[in-house]
Amino acid sequence: MGMGLQRIAPEKMQKLTVQMVCLEHGKKDPNPKMAYKMVPIEQFTKKADVRVLCEALGYGHVTQNTAQAAAWHMMDGLTWNELAAKNRVESKYLGNIRWFSPFELRTAMAVVKEADRLAKERARTKGKTSEEPQESLSDFDG
């Protein structure tokens, strides 16, 4: 799991494997065959706590499923109870398989609090409001 850099020439395409979360609950589930366009997070949201969360995922400080629960809570306002009841699979033969385990939800609750704390701390340090984008830091110890 290296954090190495690579140069991609302009107008060239490169396949990358990256950890992601959905920031818009209710959209069609992504899959590897879909084309994605990577954009700076500031073009999508101004929420500094969401940026902290995405950085933490990128640096491997939180697992993808924990980050997903936190992201849907932060971006879409899903309650912890709604997330706990969310099924990944619903089958009359196999039964329902929950999207998130109780452990992942408890961890996501702590991650949300820590992301909010770090976003506010960055804002104080930089003299900006917590809704403005901040420079990228890897200070999440989640």
Contacts of 101 (CB under 8 A, 6+ apart): 65
Residue 133 has pLDDT above 70, yes or no: no
Q: By three-state DSSP, how is residue 16 classified?
A: coil
- Average pLDDT value for residue range 67-94: 94
Q: Are 131 and 46 in contact (CB under 8 A)?
A: yes
The alpha carbon dihedral of 86, 111, 103, 65 has a sign of positive
Q: Residue 114: pLDDT band by 50, 70, 90 thresholds? A: very high
What pLDDT is attached to residue 136?
Answer: 45
Q: Residue 46: pLDDT band by 50, 70, 90 thresholds? A: very high
**How many Å apart are CA 70 and CA 119, to the nearest integer?**
15
What pLDDT is attached to residue 68?
Answer: 96
